[in-house]
Amino acid sequence: MNTVSQRVAAQYERHIYPPPLDDLSGKAARDKTERADPKYFSAHLWPEGPPRNNLRILSAGCGTSQAAHVAYNNPECSVTGIDLSEASLAHQKQLAERHGLKNLKLERRDIVEVGASSERYDLIICTGVLHHMERPDEGLRALASALSPRGAIYAMVYASAKRVGVYFLQDMFRRLGVAQDAGGIAFVRKVLQELPAHHYARWFLPGPGVQIEDAELVDIFLHVQDRAYSVQEALDLVSGAGLTFQGWNDNGLYTRDAHIDPASEMWPRLDGLNEQDEWSVVDDFTLHNMRHSFVARHPSDDPPWRISFDGTDWLRYRPVRHPSLTPLGGGKAQRGQFQFTLTPPEQILLQAADGQTSISAIAGKLSEPAAVSERRELARAFFRRMWRLGHLFYRTA
Of 321 and 369, the structure prediction assigns the larger pLDDT to 321
pLDDT digits (tens, 9 = 90+) for 260-303: 999 999 999 999 899 999 999 999 999 999 999 999 999 999 99
pLDDT value of residue 63:
96
pLDDT digits (tens, 9 = 90+) for 217-263: 999 999 999 999 999 999 999 999 999 999 999 999 999 999 999 99
194 CB-near residues (< 8 Å, 6+ apart): none
Q: Compute how many other C-beta atoms are within 10 angstroms of the C-beta atom of residue 372.
A: 12
pLDDT digits (tens, 9 = 90+) for 102-161: 999 999 999 999 988 889 999 999 999 999 999 999 999 999 999 999 999 999 999 998
How many angstroms separate the CA atoms of 217 and 64, rounded? 17
pLDDT value of residue 221:
97
pLDDT digits (tens, 9 = 90+) for 78-92: 999 999 999 999 999
Contact 338, 317 (CB under 8 A): no
Nearest Cα to 80, choosing from 68, 95, 63? 68
* Structure confidence at residue 311 as a pLDDT band (50, 70, 90): very high
Nearest Cα to 87, choosing from 156, 15, 173? 15
- How distant is the alpha carbon of residue 330 from its chain centre? 31
Query: Domains in the chain, ordered, with CATH?
Result: 3-159+228-297 (3.40.50.150), 161-221 (no CATH), 313-395 (3.90.930)
How would you write the chain as a 3-class SS string? CCHHHHHHHHHHHHCCCCCCCCCCCCHHHHHCCCCCCHHHHHHHHCCCCCCCCCCEEEEECCCCCHHHHHHHHCCCCEEEEEECCHHHHHHHHHHHHHHCCCCEEEEECCHHHHHHCCCCEEEEEEECCHHHCCCHHHHHHHHHHCEEEEEEEEEEEEEHHHHHHHHHHHHHHHHCCCCCCHHHHHHHHHHHHCCCCCCHHHHCCCCCCCCCCHHHHHHHHCCCCCCCECHHHHHHHHHHCCCEEEEECCHHHCCHHHHCCCCCCHHHHHHCCCHHHHHHHHHHHHCCCCEEEEEEECCCCCCCCCCCCCCCHHHHCEEEECCCCEEEECCEEEECCEEEECCHHHHHHHHCCCCCCCHHHHHCCCCCCCCHHHHHHHHHHHHHHHHHCCCEEEECC
How many angstroms separate the CA atoms of 368 and 346, rounded? 11
Total-model pTM: 0.96
Nearest Cα to 52, choosing from 111, 103, 121? 121
pLDDT value of residue 42:
97
How many angstroms separate the CA atoms of 40 and 69, rounded? 13
- Checking if the pLDDT of 2 tops 90, the result is no
Contact 379, 361 (CB under 8 A): no
How many angstroms separate the CA atoms of 137 and 145, rounded? 12
What type of residue sits at position 195? L
State the average pLDDT for the chain.
95
